[in-house]
Structure 1
Amino acid sequence: MSKRVTLSIPDALYRKLEEWRDSFNLSRVFQDALAEMIRRKESLMERFHDDLPQIIARLRQEKREAEGSWEKLGHDRGLLWARSAHWLDLKKTLSCDAHTLLGDTSPFSDAFRKSLEEETAGIDKEDRADFTGTFAAGWLSGVREFWTMVEDKL
């Protein structure tokens, strides 16, 4: 028994399809292509099936370590910035979260972006994007740590 599937294709491909429609059995083309893709995925899964839990555990550990180092970098840079930051900028920063910091245009977010750019120089954009939020959270924790050291002395 067969089931119907609806597909979406870009306009340009549809125009080409219209030119060649009579030359193809579209159902057969789709079935063959899908069957081949599934066969490849299943073959890949079979090759890694036994090792997959260990591979996933290793990758999770590496991810935690990478994120931890980015958070530490951010924390250290946040502490450094806070040491010379204006009191009003410190107060504003304390009410931020990482998401706000990443989208803000205030003086302290400019300092954050400069810190981030300096730490990520030479790292490709995709890798940088993976850890920007972690760096921002670390940066804010560094600023907050500094604030807790000085707040009651002001």
Structure 2
Amino acid sequence: MNMAQRITITLPDNLHERLQMFKESLNISGVCQQAIDLAVQIEEIKVRTDIPAMEKAIARLRKQKQEASAKWKQAGFKDGLIDATEELDYLTLKYIGEGGDIEESIPGIKNEPTVKMWIDHFRWERYELEEDYFESEIYTQGWIEGVIHVWKEIKDKL
């Protein structure tokens, strides 16, 4: 035989006042039992959550993140190579190739946007349809590495 256990609950004054209007039509004990049962079921599900499944999900998502990062780093590097060989002028190539701050305008060139704004503009033209999946920081890092690679290859030949 199941024994029922008594517990006491505390209600805020405003809820207690509202409850008084419907006290006769509600099975307060039943309502509380249902609410507690639901809360306990949720906690039981949390405890039973299959940890290996969570670990699989983490590994899968981590792999997808790494693949996306590698994709955008490679795209940035390739675009940096192309821009360095086909687009960038000498001062810009030298500035970036020697580690200039891309958040700043290139010294000696007036009324020019920052290098970062230039990168963002051309990146947007190339990848505007993939904007939701674009990893700007990783792409920019790859782009800079591509430009630096070209600079190192050609600087002594100029």
- Residue 104 of structure 1, CA deviation: 4.2
**Number of equivalences:** 118
- Please tell me whether residue 144 in structure 1 is matched to residue 151 in structure 2: no
Distance verdict in 2 for CA 1:42–1:121, change over 3 Å:
farther
1:135 correspondence with 2:126: no
Query: Judging changes above 3 Å, is the alpha-carbon distance between structure 1 residues 62 and 45 closer, same or farther for their aligned structure 2 residues?
Result: farther
User: Between the two proteins, what is the percent identity of the paired residues?
Assistant: 23
Task: Indicate the structure with greater helix content.
Answer: 1
Q: Which amino acid aligns with 2:76?
A: G
Larger radius of gyration between Structure 1 and Structure 2: 2
Match of 1:138, SS state, is helix
Residues of 1 paired with 2:104 and 2:48: CA distance?
A: 47
Once the two structures are TM-superposed, the CA of residue 44 in structure 1 deviates from its matched residue by 4.8
Counterpart Cα distance in 1 of 2:77 and 2:43: 41
Q: What is the aligned-residue RMSD (CA, Å)?
A: 3.0
C-alpha separation in 2, matches of 1:81 and 1:41: 56
Q: Is residue 124 of structure 2 the alignment partner of residue 117 of structure 1?
A: yes
Contact 1:74 1:139 in 2 (8 A): yes
Structure 1 residue runs of 5 or longer lacking an equivalent are: 1-20, 26-31
Query: Cα distance, 1:115 vs. partner?
Result: 2.6
Following superposition, the deviation at residue 60 of structure 1 comes to 1.3
In the TM superposition, what whole-angstrom CA distance separates every residue of 1:55-98 from its partner, at most 9, and x where no partner exists? 212211111111000001111111111113111111221324xx
Q: When the two structures are superposed, what TM-score results if normalisation uses the length of structure 1?
A: 0.62
Q: Which residue of 2 aligns with 1:23?
A: 14
| Superposition pairs of residues 61-80 of structure 1, within 5 angstroms | 61-80=63-82
Query: Any stretches of 5+ residues in structure 2 without a counterpart?
Result: 1-11, 17-34, 106-112
Task: Give the deviation of 1:113 after TM superposition.
Answer: 1.1
